[in-house]
Structure 1
Amino acid sequence: MAESNGMTDAQLIQQLALLGWLKTDSVQCKDLLTAVTGIQVGRELLDRLSGQSQIDAYRRECIQSIADFVKKNPRASQRELNAEVEKNVLVFASRVQTL
């Protein structure tokens, strides 16, 4: 989901539905607000149960660690790069497995 000023697309849609409901008190706006809120709650529950956000964080850390190594070691051999990638992927896999 894209963010603009700290609000995700889903949050923006939810706020628009809420605003529409508050202004008009229409059944359609209330139904839209209920649907959008239900989807957000369901997605958050699934994310928490699956640990997907933690996996994504571990993935970002793995990639960043490899990128940092490459920046600090621009003359590293292919063998050194492969070893660093393998080390970081194993750390990532280990962390994911402990979830």
Structure 2
Amino acid sequence: MADEWSLGNAELLQQIGTLVWAVNDDKAPKMVENMAALKIGYELYQRLSGQRDVDALRNQTIMNIAKFVKDHPKASKEELTKEVSKQIWLFTQKLEQM
């Protein structure tokens, strides 16, 4: 869902223009106003909270763990635990730097 709702700067400005038009035009459908407000709100939340960056970091951590498992199919439980712990530690370090 995040990719579908993600707005670049130009799209965000377009949605703001749509919202201004819908609010000021009595003939504009209420649904247009509501959708523009939702898209703007979602994008502002993503940008201000940094949630998009956290999600990308989490996905990268998962991919790193999956790559290790794929590259080391016969790894012991201890090796897997060590690698997962390492990846989680790296995740928390990068998160603290944000």
TM-score (structure 1 length as normaliser):
0.71
Change (3 A) 1:2 1:51: closer
Change (3 A) 1:76 1:93: same
| RMSD between superposed Cα atoms in Å | 2.5
Report how far residue 96 of structure 1 moved. Answer: 1.3
* Greater relative contact order (CA < 8 Å, ≥ 6 in sequence): 2
Aligned to 1:67: 66
Change (3 A) 1:66 1:51: same
Report how far residue 27 of structure 1 moved. Answer: 2.9
Aligned to 2:95: 96
Report how far residue 48 of structure 1 moved. Answer: 0.8
State the percentage of identical aligned residues: 35
TM-score (structure 2 length as normaliser):
0.72
Structure 2: gaps of 5 or more residues? 8-17, 19-24
Query: Larger % of strand: which?
Result: 1
Aligned to 1:15: none
Change (3 A) 1:10 1:34: farther
Structure 1: gaps of 5 or more residues? 12-17, 19-24
Aligned to 1:27: 27
Q: Give the count of matched residue pairs.
A: 82
8 Å Cα contact 2:5/2:39 also seen in 1: no
